Structure 1
Amino acid sequence: MRVEVWSDVVCPWCYVGKRRLERALGSFEHAGDVEVVWRSFQLDPAFPKGVHRPTYEALMEKTGGSAAQVRAMTEQVKAVAAEEGLVYDFESSSMVNTFDAHRLAHLAEAHGLGAAMHERLMRAQLVEGATLADPETLVRLGEEVGVPAGEARRVLAGDEYTTEVEEDISQARELGVSGVPFFVLDRAYGLSGAQPLETFLSALRQAQNASA
């Protein structure tokens, strides 16, 4: 079975969804037969490249909410994330354009490190407050999971893997994906959002039975 996951590395619900999927797979009888493929998606493709803006400030601008409203909203997300063992740090994080981070993830995938890279980027953004608009930060994160630094630097300085990122986003549109995380099982079953573990487990079993 193939499980494709469209997500953005700055998306707090995507990291929660990732953890819940992982827990569901831990209870799934045929987990050894499941291939998880990470697909690129941008929540805010219009955000300027190379720019980083404090997350609270960017959210206030995007939602039109007050500082208190934005903090209340993020506190709710932090509480849910904490249940999955994730300690989010919105105070230190920055909003960025994630296109280059997704290109790096595709480079990592070419080395068989796509899942590890996706995890590392999400943790860097949401837990560690790293600035993913900085090419050298991306190079460092790639190197930490095994992507050669020189190769990452070359890719980030050019436009390699642009087509791959755009194809992922195009496929999402064709499937009707308007928000992430979005999970597609064998291109037959779709799940939107960070669903409860039981929902993931039920969907995995349903897809398994359909293919049996």
Structure 2
Amino acid sequence: MTDPIKIDIWSDIACPWCYIGKRHLEAGIAGLGENAPDIEIEYHSFELAPDTPVDFEGSEIDFLAAHKGMPEEQVRQMLGHVSGVAKAAGLDYDFDALKHTKTLKAHELLHFAKEHGAQLALKERLLSAYFTEGGHVGRIDELVGFAAEVGLDADAAREALESGRYAAAVQADIAQAGAYGIQGVPFFVFDGKYGVSGAQPAEVFGQVITQVGAERSGEAA
């Protein structure tokens, strides 16, 4: 029995292109139909702005204007463009409601969820909360609530976050990203061989999966 094709994804909850890239990947897999091979997806931690406070005072426009040194009007145009791309992917971003925060604890929780078979469900829940619902994904109380929503034990999730048990795993992911030369996310690694940077169109993901599958079968891609 052939092992599933492994897709490792470096991603940050606070990255709008990461949610779009997730949807594009899902569409690329769905587009293969009955020809889609078995696929295993694992998310890895990446912090785009590690110096962000948990409770950032201000809007997403305020943060980006300061963080990127851009005029506010330019930031508004940029967010408008991102919202349009997200809409085309079926996502309804609400940057006005978004609560910018440090995502370190969310990444720890994703490692906890991985151990309990719920990483993909939690990743979707956190991205949806952050970009479409104005949810806070930086504080332990709210994170425990999201964990419970996807069927994880709330007390165990709280203990994992308060103890910092998965902090080393998060840093190991970040170090691996550095070793790979990853400077931005999303970044997808297929079968440990092919790297794809950015929220590429669904067709690109479908083509890479098809190529990997063909190579595994000993056929020419």
TM-score by length of 2: 0.92
Identity of aligned residues (%): 40
Q: Is the 8 A contact 1:5 1:38 kept in 2?
A: yes
Q: Please state how far the C-alpha of 1:31 moved relative to its aligned partner.
A: 3.1
Runs of 4+ in 1 over 6 A off after TM superposition: none
Which residue matches 2:55?
51
For the pair 1:90 / 2:98, whether they are aligned, the reply is: no
- Contact 1:52–1:133 (CA<8 Å) still a contact in 2? no
Q: Does 1:103 align with 2:103?
A: no
Question: What one-letter code is carried by the residue in structure 2 that aligns with 1:169?
Answer: I
Give, in angstroms, the shift of residue 147 of structure 1. 1.2
Select 2:139's aligned residue among 128, 134, 138. 134
2:19 corresponds, among 15, 25, 35, to 15
Secondary structure in structure 2 of the residue aligned to 1:94: coil
What is the CA distance between 1:67 and its match in structure 2? 2.1
Cα deviation, residue 136, structure 1: 1.0
2:125 equivalent in structure 1: 120
CA contact (8 A) 2:37 2:213 kept: no
Match for 2:133: what amino acid? Answer: E
Q: 2:163 is matched with which residue? A: 158
Distance in 2 (alpha carbons) for counterparts of 1:147 and 1:12: 25
CA distance in 2, matches of 1:155, 1:52: 24
Q: 2:192 aligns with which of 187, 193, 202?
A: 187
The offset of 1:150, in angstroms, is 0.7
- Contact 1:21 / 1:200 at 8 angstroms: preserved in 2? yes
SS in 1 for 2:195: strand
**In 2, Cα distance between equivalents of 1:45 and 1:63:** 14
Find the aligned partners of 1:144 and 1:181 in 2 and give their Cα distance.
25
Structure-to-structure mapping, 1:198-209, within 5 angstroms: 198-209=203-214
What is the distance in 2 between the residues matched to 1:127 and 1:22?
19
**How many residues are paired up?**
211
The alpha carbon displacement at 1:142 in A equals: 0.6
- 1:71 pairs with 46, 70, 76, which one? 76
- 1:6 maps to amino acid: W
Q: 1:60–1:70: 8 Å Cα contact kept in structure 2? A: yes
Runs (5+) with no aligned partner, structure 2: none
The structural deviation recorded for 1:134 is: 2.0
- Residue identity matched to 1:66: P
Q: CA RMSD, aligned part only? A: 1.2
